[in-house]
Amino acid sequence: MMSGSVTDGLISGATVFLDLDGDRELDKNEVFTTTDAQGNYTLPFQNGTIVAFGGTDIATGLANKTVFTAPAGYQHISPITTIMQAMVDSGKSVSEAEATVKTQYGLGDVDLKYTDPIGGLDGSNSDKSLTVLNKAVQTANTANQIAAMMQGAAPALSSADALNAAYAALGAALDAGGRFDDITTIKTAIITCATGCGIDVTGFADKAAKIMADSNNLLDNATGNGQAAMDAATVLAKVAKLAQETISAGMKTAVESGDPRQMDTLATDYTSTNLVNAADTVTAGDIDGDGQAETGGT
C-alpha cells in the first residue's frame, strides 16, 4: 500500500487514482480513493502516474480546480510534483525533472518523494517542510493567475485545460533556468502559455508578472525571517487565498476587458506594501488539519 497527502493547502475530498495508461482520466480498471478531511489518501501501490482532482483546499476554503499529478512512487502530491510531471511529459526523466526543480527552487537535499509539506511542519525537519510548502504555494498561485489570464482571453477554455497549460509553461521556464520571484521568468511563462493556447496577452504580461513576482518574494520573506513554521504557513495560506481568488479574478476581468489599464490598477493594489496590507486582511483556514482556523499576520 502507498499512503500520502494532496497538498496545495491540504485538499480534502479529492479523488486520487493511479493513471495506468497516462491519459489523466479515471478509467474503470484504475484504482482510486478519496482524500479524508486532512487531505490524506491510501492506495495499493502500482506503477502509474498519481493523479488527484477535485476537493477543497481547507487552508483557503477554495475549490480545487487543478489536476495535480506526481510521478510513480511520490507519496505527497502537490504543485511541485505537478510541475515535475509536466517536465516528464515534455521528455525529461523523473530524476532530471526532480534535479531541475530542486536546483531552481533551492530545495537542497530535500527528498521530494517522501517530504510531507504540512505534516512535517511540527517535526525536526520543519524547515525543509516549510520550504517545500512555500515553493508549492508559489507555484500554485502563479499557475492559477496565469490560467485566469488565459480564460480571460479565451472564455471557452476550461479551468483544467488552462491550468495544465500554465503548469507546462512554468515547467519550461524552470527548465530554462528561471525562478518564480523573477519578473522576466514569469513574463516568459505567460507568453509561452498564451502562445500554446493560441491567444495574445502581451499587453498585460508585464504588470501581471510584476504582481506574481512580488507575491512570491513576499512568501520567500515570510518563510525566511525566522518565525515559527506554523505562523509562516499561515501567511502562505493568506497569500494563497488572495492570489488564487481575488487577484486571479481581477486578472481574468482585466484581460476580458481588453484594457491593460485594469492590470495596471491591480499592480498598484497588489504589489509592495499594498500587497502586504491586502494579505493581512485575509482569514486563513485550517492549515494542519486539526479542524481549527489559524491566526497570524504577514
CA–CA distances in Å: residue 209 to residues 18, 182, 183, 197, 219? 35, 8, 5, 18, 15
3-class DSSP state of 11: strand
* Residues 23 and 142 occupy one common structural domain: no
Report whether 11 contacts 39 (CB < 8 A). yes
For residue 285, being part of any structural domain is answered with: no
Alpha carbon distance 219, 66 (integer Å): 21
Report whether 76 contacts 9 (CB < 8 A). no
What's the burial of 127, exposed, middle or buried (CB within 10 Å: 0-12/13-18/19+)? Answer: middle
pLDDT score for 296: 63
3-class DSSP state of 282: coil
Closest to 54 in 3D by CA, of 72, 73, 41, 71: 41
* Residues 7 and 140 occupy one common structural domain: no
Q: Which domain holds residue 17?
A: 2-89
For residue 120, being part of any structural domain is answered with: no
* Residues 84 and 131 occupy one common structural domain: no
pLDDT score for 226: 78
* Residues 134 and 186 occupy one common structural domain: yes
What pTM, to 2 d.p., does this model score?
A: 0.96
* Residues 52 and 189 occupy one common structural domain: no
Grid coordinates 476580458 are at which residue? 256
* Residues 81 and 226 occupy one common structural domain: no
* Residues 244 and 179 occupy one common structural domain: yes
Going from the first residue of the chain to its last (298 residues), give the mean pLDDT of each consecutive group of 10, the final group possibly shorter.
94 96 91 96 89 98 97 95 96 96 95 92 87 97 98 96 97 96 97 97 98 96 86 95 98 98 97 95 94 74
Closest to 160 in 3D by CA, of 82, 235, 216: 82
CATH code at position 58: 2.60.40
For residue 239, being part of any structural domain is answered with: yes
* Residues 8 and 78 occupy one common structural domain: yes
For residue 121, being part of any structural domain is answered with: no
Question: Within 13 A of 246's CA, how many CA atoms are on the CB side?
Answer: 16
* Residues 137 and 270 occupy one common structural domain: yes
Closest to 110 in 3D by CA, of 143, 92, 134, 146: 134
List, in order, residues 6 or more apart from 23 with CB less than 8 Å away.
none
* Residues 45 and 144 occupy one common structural domain: no
* Residues 58 and 134 occupy one common structural domain: no
What's the burial of 39, exposed, middle or buried (CB within 10 Å: 0-12/13-18/19+)? Answer: buried
* Residues 73 and 139 occupy one common structural domain: no
94-105 and 159-175 helices, crossing angle to 10°: 80
State the cell numbers at 240: 494563497
Alpha carbon distance 37, 278 (integer Å): 29
A 10 A CB-CB count for 28 gives: 4
Q: Report the number of distinct structural domains present in the chain.
A: 2
3-class DSSP state of 237: helix
